[in-house]
Amino acid sequence: MKQEPEADKNMTKIALIPHPGLGDAIVVQVLAHNLSLNGYQVHTHHQLTSTLDRYFASSTALPPLEPHQYDAYDSVIHVSASKQHLHLELCHGAEIPSFLRHIAIARQSATSICYALPHHSPNQSMAENIFASLKHTLKLKTTEKSHGLVDLDFEYRKSSMRVAIHPTSSDIAKNWSPHKYLQLAEKLEHIGMQPHFVLSPTEQKFWKEVCDCRFPTPDLSIPELAKFLYESGYFIGSDSGPGHLASMLGVPTLTIFPRKRSNYQWRPGFAKNVIAAPASRLSLGKARYHRRSLLSADRVMQYFMHLAEEEYSINTAPIPAIKLLGTKKPDLSVS
């Protein structure tokens, strides 16, 4: 259970404000935890992760911060990302925190200074890039590739046959087609798995009609979703927040991308992750919306079996299909 960290009036008090997306906020928790390890008192302000505060031992997750509340902090930092950099924008503070003094200034205005934290490798996840930057760029003395999670009072992966599926994202170009997700769910069920579609309230109506009562579609709050994922065996989904949440909780994830080598740095980066993407690199005009059709349910199933086989090598409770099917691993080198 979480115990609130003791506040020291001499500690520098920092507010981190991530991008509104759930995945962005979860990745920023790595920064929050490591700043806490190095003597800063850190609060992250985000609508969604504020409901998960009990999960974070060393930092505090709170609702969005209003400008009139900035004076409660020594520094207020907005965190956003581009393809090349993570941007740390100091928008309030009489003094620049020491960890920012090692980073190049990207731009400056009368009201803020924006620092650019470079990605060390486009082949690594954003979480891995941030972790690499903690020591080498921010010069933090103590670092951990961790969110600083508490010991949870749930049973980890107790429903080992359950596969949580989140079939949507904020960008339609990232989404696989609904009928392919249904095909995949049927294939998972055929080998003894228990697919569940985890959905936001706004997604419920459409996907209940798509699933037509064939698969469960639980209606979960963010804290309920976190517990559900923590107790599930696997997660499959688009590049979206629930995948990062599952990975943060240590659950193996399979992320479906509509094209090869696209935005891989935003894949979940805290537990075992496998990427499923079409072999084709077709990129003409509106064809980007049709590339999803080049990725079959059979191929995604191969990627899932690859993920499960790797689990089998370290897990004493493998899924039955690993013993029964001898499924061929996909060619992960296809470009």
Quick: pLDDT tens for 191-245: 999 999 999 899 999 999 999 889 999 999 999 999 999 999 999 998 889 999 9
Shared domain for 117 and 264, answered yes or no, is: no
Shared domain for 172 and 320, answered yes or no, is: yes
Task: Give me the domain span that covers residue 246.
Answer: 159-325
Tokens linked to 134: 């903690």
pLDDT for 114 beyond 90: yes
CB 331 within 8 A of CB 300: no
Q: What is the mean pLDDT of the chain?
A: 85
Tokens linked to 125: 């996840």
Pairing relationship of beta strands 232-237 and 159-166 according to DSSP bridges: parallel
Domain membership flag for residue 7: no
Query: Which residues does 326 contact at the CB level (< 8 Å), separation at least 6?
Result: none
Shared domain for 20 and 73, answered yes or no, is: yes
| Strands, sheet with 159-166, edge to edge from the N-terminal-most edge strand | 194-197, 159-166, 232-237, 253-256, 273-276
Domain membership flag for residue 84: yes
Shared domain for 176 and 284, answered yes or no, is: yes
Residues in the chain: 335
Shared domain for 120 and 261, answered yes or no, is: no
pTM: 0.87
Domain membership flag for residue 1: no
Q: Structural domain tally of the chain?
A: 2
Domain membership flag for residue 144: no
Domain membership flag for residue 148: no
Count of CB atoms situated within 10 Å of the CB of 203: 17
Shared domain for 68 and 192, answered yes or no, is: no
CB 188 within 8 A of CB 220: no
Shared domain for 255 and 210, answered yes or no, is: yes
User: How far apart are the C-alpha atoms of 277 and 88, rounded to whole Å?
Assistant: 31
Domain membership flag for residue 145: no
Shared domain for 165 and 309, answered yes or no, is: yes
pLDDT for 167 beyond 80: yes
Beta partners for residue 14, in sequence order: 42, 75
